Structure 1
Amino acid sequence: MSEAFPRRWMTRQFASGHGLYLLLDSRQQEIRRLLLQTSDFEHYRILYKDTPAAELADNGPFVFALERYDDKRIAPLLARPEDNWGWLFSLPQASLPVWVEHWQQRLIIGTRPHQALYRFHDNRVLSRTLAYLPTEDMPAYLGPTLSVCYWQGTRWESSDNPAPGRYPLPASPLWLQTPAPAEQTREIRQLNAHRYLLAEHEQAYADLARTQPPEAWLRERLEQADEWGWQTPQQLEFLLIHSLRMPAHGIDAQWQVRPGETSLEHFERVSHWVKTMGGEATE
């Protein structure tokens, strides 16, 4: 991959007197080690430090100041943008603490007990969000950031913040409504289902794993839910629990969709049949 685009962007930002920074994903262990060894303490930040996600700090993103537009330390990253290692950005001089505070305020999304970490450091998240947000909503998202340079998936891109500054966190951030790709949605749903079964039905899930790969089994169950149109948490939970009780026998004929039956009618009929037959899942 050509480094020309990000290097030109870095040159312009540096020539304008802006501070240059790298936001780095924790998976880039080798580069992170090099940057930590060659950076003064005031030239990097651990983004999850002093936040509710502090226990994950070492596995979270780091931000590093780049003192030169031609910094050779990041050449391996620029040569492999498809690794999705993070993104580059510029700030007014001495504005890093404000930038860190801005993103830490946006780190936790959702309400208890359904909170999650917002992966703002992922260039794929940044790319989708900037493509989705109207221009007038970009400042509240980017905060003090002057400009960003990132891998869009097929090419390098850069975006300038139309009004850099301090912004409070909106009550309903528009960027959290950014549509997620179907593949990512499936991955997240499978991960959530996996965590649910581990937390609530650990023994039955462990027994299943002795006879077949749980990831493949779970993927098949979720594909079945898609086919039937069972998408609510109650429907998915019902299907997973009862499938877990009969992994070797498969779905009973009573579970199959009947002609002209809607997804809701199908679910209500099957759940009633299970209760009638004494098939309620109990542990």
Structure 2
Amino acid sequence: MTLVAAQQWMAEQRHLGCSVCLILDSLDELTARNGLLNNRAPELYCSIYRETPAADMADKGPFLFLIDNPEDEHLSELLKAPERNWGWLASVAPEAGLQALVKHWRDRMIFGVRPHRGIYRFHDNRVLARALQHLTTVTVAGYLGPAISVCYWQGEHWETLGNPAPGNHPVPESPIWNDFPMEADQRASTREANAHRYLLARHLEAYARMAEQQDPELWLSTLLAQANTWGWQAAEQLEFLLVQRLKATTDPLAQRWQARPGESPDAHFQRVFQEMQFWQGDGLL
């Protein structure tokens, strides 16, 4: 890897005849996203989640932009603040265009099987950096796909990496990048970000009402800490806890929610789930 300023990398890629793409995590960068969308032709951008199983989060998920103006003020503002972890940059062959990169990541964004499916946060520069740190020269091509080169902030400085074999690659049956270890703080940050996106996409009104009564970040981190204490890590367990607490944001957890001595996390969850169904008139004890 080489260390180079993002602006210099873009200039080098354009000099080589490559097109430059911005992979943007738009949820926390709505101003930049909307600015980049303004008067931009439809073929120059795409919402990754649209036309996928995560389509209900399309407006708040990652966007890919083909950068036709490297001096764009909104892009410049992003490059001045890489510590916001807004995403990363990639270059592609002009004939491949934006859609080749879109298809590549759509094919790789969903991992796991029901009911434990998840979304791979490829658009997070920290996720990209961690993957590139662990991948070998042989496997990096299948990860980057049509990207000829990538430029990303790795926490302290910009880094770039060239793809040894850019092009279309089949998705491995068990992609190794889904299993790379994360530091505890990275796992917590990723889980909180995913929970935040889920609530915005599926329970926006209730989430907004809760935010009027208390600090949403504290509320969310407290619940996720509770889930961690109970060993509730599966997606349906977290969703159940979050949705139920949205229904009673000001009430303390009832005693029946607490784990019993010797009760496994799965048994604990099933008991509370069935009890809540009963009390809400949706099931039998």
Is the 8 Å Cα contact of residues 190 and 222 (structure 1) preserved in structure 2? no
Is the 8 Å Cα contact of residues 86 and 150 (structure 1) preserved in structure 2? yes
State the distance in 2 between where 1:12 and 1:131 align.
Answer: 23
Aligned-partner residue type, residue 10 of structure 2: M
Following TM superposition, by how much is the alpha carbon of 1:193 offset from its aligned partner in structure 2, in angstroms?
A: 9.8
The residue aligned with 1:130 is 132
The residue aligned with 1:143 is 145
Following TM superposition, by how much is the alpha carbon of 1:246 offset from its aligned partner in structure 2, in angstroms?
A: 2.7
Aligned-partner residue type, residue 105 of structure 1: D
The residue aligned with 1:43 is 44
CA displacement 1:218-246 (0-9 Å, x = unmatched) = 46646756xxxx6887xx99xx9xx9543
Higher CA-based Rg: 1
The residue aligned with 2:206 is none
How is 1:84-233 mapped onto 2 (pairs within 5 angstroms)? 84-96=85-97, 97-187=99-189, 215=220, 218=223, 221=226
Following TM superposition, by how much is the alpha carbon of 1:28 offset from its aligned partner in structure 2, in angstroms?
A: 1.2
State the distance in 1 between where 2:254 and 2:92 align.
Answer: 56
| Higher deviation after alignment, 48-57 or 141-150 | 48-57
Is the 8 Å Cα contact of residues 109 and 118 (structure 1) preserved in structure 2? yes
Aligned-partner residue type, residue 44 of structure 1: Y
In the superposition, the TM-score normalised over structure 2's length comes to 0.70
The residue aligned with 1:34 is 35
Secondary structure at 2:56's aligned position in 1? helix
Query: Root-mean-square deviation (CA), in Å?
Result: 3.9
Which consecutive unaligned segments of at least 5 residues does structure 2 have? 199-209, 242-251, 268-273, 279-285
* Bigger relative contact order (CA 8 A; separation at least 6): 2
Q: 1:113 to 1:216 in 2, by over 3 A?
A: closer
Following TM superposition, by how much is the alpha carbon of 1:21 offset from its aligned partner in structure 2, in angstroms?
A: 1.1
In the superposition, the TM-score normalised over structure 1's length comes to 0.70
Following TM superposition, by how much is the alpha carbon of 1:191 offset from its aligned partner in structure 2, in angstroms?
A: 8.3
Aligned-partner residue type, residue 12 of structure 2: R
State the distance in 2 between where 1:72 and 1:35 align.
Answer: 9
State the distance in 1 between where 2:223 and 2:48 align.
Answer: 34
Do structure 1's residue 17 and structure 2's residue 17 form an aligned pair? yes
Structure 1 stretches (4+) deviating beyond 3 angstroms?
Answer: 68-73, 186-195, 213-225, 230-233
Secondary structure at 1:49's aligned position in 2? coil
How is 1:229-248 mapped onto 2 (pairs within 5 angstroms)? 244-246=253-255
Following TM superposition, by how much is the alpha carbon of 1:153 offset from its aligned partner in structure 2, in angstroms?
A: 1.1
Which consecutive unaligned segments of at least 5 residues does structure 1 have? 196-205, 256-265, 272-280
Identity over the aligned pairs, expressed in percent?
Answer: 39
State the distance in 2 between where 1:171 and 1:31 align.
Answer: 36
CA displacement 1:68-113 (0-9 Å, x = unmatched) = 4444441100011011111111000131322211111011111111
Aligned-partner residue type, residue 28 of structure 1: E
State the distance in 1 between where 2:221 and 2:150 align.
Answer: 39
Q: 1:69 to 1:218 in 2, by over 3 A?
A: closer
